[in-house]
Amino acid sequence: MTSMDVIVSLCKRRGFVFQSSEIYGGTGSCWDYGPLGVELKNNIKRVWWRDFVQRRDDMVGLDASILMHAMVWKASGHVDSFTDPMVDCRECKRRFRADQVDELAWTHYCEATKGNKFTIPAGEACRHCGARRTLCPECGKGQLTAPRQFNLMFRTFMGPVEEDASVTYLRPETAQGIFVNFDNLLQSTRRKLPFGVGQIGKAFRNEITPGNFIFRTREFEQMEIEFFVNPHETIDGRPADEHWHDRWIAEYQAWFTRYGLRPDHVKLHEHARDELAHYSKRTVDLLYHFPMGWSELMGIANRTDYDLKQHAKFSGKSLTWFDEERKEHLVPFVIEPSAGVDRALLAFLLDAYREEEVRGEKRVVLRFHPELAPVKIAVLPLLKKRPEIVAAGQDLRARLSRRWVAIYDDTAAIGRLYRRQDEVGTPYCVTVDVKTVGDLGKGEVGDQRVTIRERDSMQQIRVPTAELESVFARLLGDAAWADVAAAYPTADG
């Protein structure tokens, strides 16, 4: 199991993830994606969009705004019900989630030891006086209020005047942008059921206890699908919504493992009846084996016709689909696979991370799927002091970067350069050496071949520079390394 600390440290050092506003002490709940992190994150989003929106013929995309009309959140139930029960300390005014307060270590001024201050682990009693926690766990002095509901939406004001009429919220989920556009989507695309709408975008929740790095943050990015089905239709003897619910669960299990999650690190969690949200007929979570334990990677809910009916009721607009066969207007059911970009990225990072021993030395390698790797090709010169080698390397990078993310690095010796690329998951390194360019001063003409090194096997082959585009088109397409490498002589490691 890779520890979170190891990943957090690697992420900062190599430019994957920085703490937001770090120079001001951070916000404790938002993170910034650095030069490698933004490429990794964009790759996850791009592959998701391609696989789930562009390649399918039953999906379209949408990009709705973050700020919407406040009525959207009234209709969706978020204004009234998107709350956590919280308790306040009457003394120090600190606020705690009511369901978590008993899980905190607590401060105790022990009278049996003349008022000495102790910090006592959650759930335990004082060893001196036997007291258990009844007061504020933080200051140890104030009474806690009875639990009250607090809304988790970020509130703001649209327009220059801060008054009730202009209150709105940062969206706590992207889903509602799809529901309120249902009729626009139908009119502009002429779709028939079943069809789905995919959307990627930021959402915001004023979490009481953000934490575990980018797992639970107040600002995060979602990849959501609302897949609309005809509830009167039957597929293989079952209602269409139940059929599609199972299909989407299977699609996502396959997707996450295709791009690098270990199958034994992913499992399903079926929500029990008392866990289900009020709108849900059935919800299944995909759990991932995070360092802090099995936790939600994504959820797949059958939201029934709840949302469309709520918005029809609150807006007075008809949000139905006309079934040509049955000649009737109906409100579709919706299956919602809802995944978080940040959580997916964290899981891919954790399962990609390996510490290996190579010739007695530790090698850290991120075994990213090539589609997810931030950098596809690193061009490295074997000798920095030979200007022809440097120039050839820079030319190659410029050429390869027409099609792939390619970088050039000459700031260390070759062994160190390889390790740097391993550590950020670059699948291929191209090395330019003396043999490539020859030595014109000695009348030597180079062989115009370079070494390609594969990250996981560390195997090296010698390839004519003229063939690099076709070789990488195969390697970064569907071809296996072994199949491509077989056509070329191997080079020394």
- Which residues within the stretch 91-130 sit at the binding site for its own copies (CB under 8 A)? 95
CA atoms within 13 A on the CB side of 16: 24
- Among residues 287 and 405, whose Cβ is nearest to its own copies? 405
* Contacts (CB under 8 A) with its own copies, residues 394-413: 394, 397-398, 401-402, 405, 407-408, 411
Does residue 82 interact with its own copies by CB under 8 A? Answer: no
Among 89, 110, 120, 170, binds its own copies (CB under 8 A): 170
Maximal C-alpha separation, the chain: 92
Decide if 405 contacts 426 (C-beta within 8 A).
no
- Report the alpha-carbon distance of residue 468 to residue 464 in Å, rounded: 7
Task: Dig out the tokens for 53 from the structure.
Answer: 């929106």
Strand boundaries in 138-255, DSSP class E: 148-151, 155-157, 167-169, 195-204, 219-229, 234-235, 238-239
Among 4, 6, 8, 30, binds its own copies (CB under 8 A): 30
* Contacts (CB under 8 A) with its own copies, residues 140-169: 150, 152, 154-162, 168
Least distance (Å) between residue 330 CB and its own copies: 18
SS3 at position 82? coil
Decide if 430 contacts 452 (C-beta within 8 A).
yes
- Among residues 359 and 402, whose Cβ is nearest to its own copies? 402
Query: For the purposes of burial, counting CB atoms within 10 Å of the CB of 41, is it exposed (0-12), middle (13-18) or buried (19 or more)?
Result: buried
Q: Which of 82, 62, 65, 84 is nearest to 74 (CA)?
A: 82
Does residue 13 interact with its own copies by CB under 8 A? Answer: yes
* Contacts (CB under 8 A) with its own copies, residues 185-244: 185, 187-190, 197, 202, 204, 206, 208, 218-219
Does residue 308 interact with its own copies by CB under 8 A? Answer: no
Q: Which stretch binds its own copies (CB under 8 A): 38-46, 137-145, 261-269, 425-433?
A: 38-46
Least distance (Å) between residue 481 CB and its own copies: 21
Does residue 64 interact with its own copies by CB under 8 A? Answer: yes
User: Which residues, 6 or more positions from 397, have their beta carbon under 8 angstroms from its beta carbon?
Assistant: 379, 406, 407, 408
Among 3, 9, 21, 145, binds its own copies (CB under 8 A): 21
Site string for its own copies, 350-389 (x = CB under 8 A): ----------------------------------------
Least distance (Å) between residue 75 CB and its own copies: 8
Decide if 230 contacts 332 (C-beta within 8 A).
yes
